[in-house]
Amino acid sequence: MAGFDYSNFISPCRDICKLDVDEKFCIGCYRTTDEIAGWKGFSKKEKLSVMDLLPGREKRGFPYDKE
């Protein structure tokens, strides 16, 4: 596929894709709805920065709006 950036094709998606009761976070990958919506436009650096936050979010559970 010409022009496709394979080096930026990373995602924490686990194919669970369910939002929490407040519809702010995915309970499968622990990204916020804003992060999910903007993911395709994020640079590799931005994606990796978000992914660094996910293990802590998973460990703390919901709500985890205080990072």
How do residues 3-40 score in pLDDT, each as one tens digit? 667 777 889 998 988 998 888 889 999 999 999 999 99
24 and 30 Cβ atoms separated by less than 8 Å: no
Using omega within 30 degrees of 0 as the cis cutoff, is the peptide bond preceding 55 cis? no
**Residue 27 domain-assigned?**
yes
- pLDDT for 64 beyond 60: no
**Which backbone phi and psi does 46 adopt, to 5 degrees?**
-65, -40
The three-state secondary structure class of 4 is coil
1 domain-assigned: no
| Dihedral class, residue 8 (left if φ above 0, else alpha if ψ from -120 to 50, else beta) | alpha
> Has residue 8 been placed in a domain?
no
Does residue 35 lie in a domain region? Answer: yes
Q: What is the pLDDT of residue 2?
A: 61
Task: Domain count for the chain, please give it.
Answer: 1
Range of the domain at 22: 13-60
Rounded to whole angstroms, how far apart are CA atoms 29 and 62?
12
